[in-house]
C-alpha cells in the first residue's frame, strides 16, 4: 500500500512539474484572463497543457476506484 501511494504521489508531482511551467509561461505572456478562460483555445490545445490536464483528470477515476477498494478492505 505504501509503494502504491508513493507511486501516486510521484505521478502527481510529475504532472505538476510539467504543467505548472506551461501555466506560468502562458500567464506571463497572455495574462490572467487568457490563462483561466482560454477564449481562443490556444492554451488548452497548443501549449501541451490540455494533455497533462487530461491525464491528471483520468487518473482521478482510478483513485476513486482505489479509494473504494480500500474502504471495502477495512469493512471486511
pLDDT digits over 1-43, tens only?
788 889 999 999 999 999 999 999 999 999 999 999 999 988 9
Q: What is the pTM of this model?
A: 0.76
- Extract the C-alpha cell encoding 54: 487530461
Q: Given this model, what pLDDT does residue 10 score? A: 95
CA separation for the pair 32, 9 (Å, rounded): 28
Amino acid at each position: 500500500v505504501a509503494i502504491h501511494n508513493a507511486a501516486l504521489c510521484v505521478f502527481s508531482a510529475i504532472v505538476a512539474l510539467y504543467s505548472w511551467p506551461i501555466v506560468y509561461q502562458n500567464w506571463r505572456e497572455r495574462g490572467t484572463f487568457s490563462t483561466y478562460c482560454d477564449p481562443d483555445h490556444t492554451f488548452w490545445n497548443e501549449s501541451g497543457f490540455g494533455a497533462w490536464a487530461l491525464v491528471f483528470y483520468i487518473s482521478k477515476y482510478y483513485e476513486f476506484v482505489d479509494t473504494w477498494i480500500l474502504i471495502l478492505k477495512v469493512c471486511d
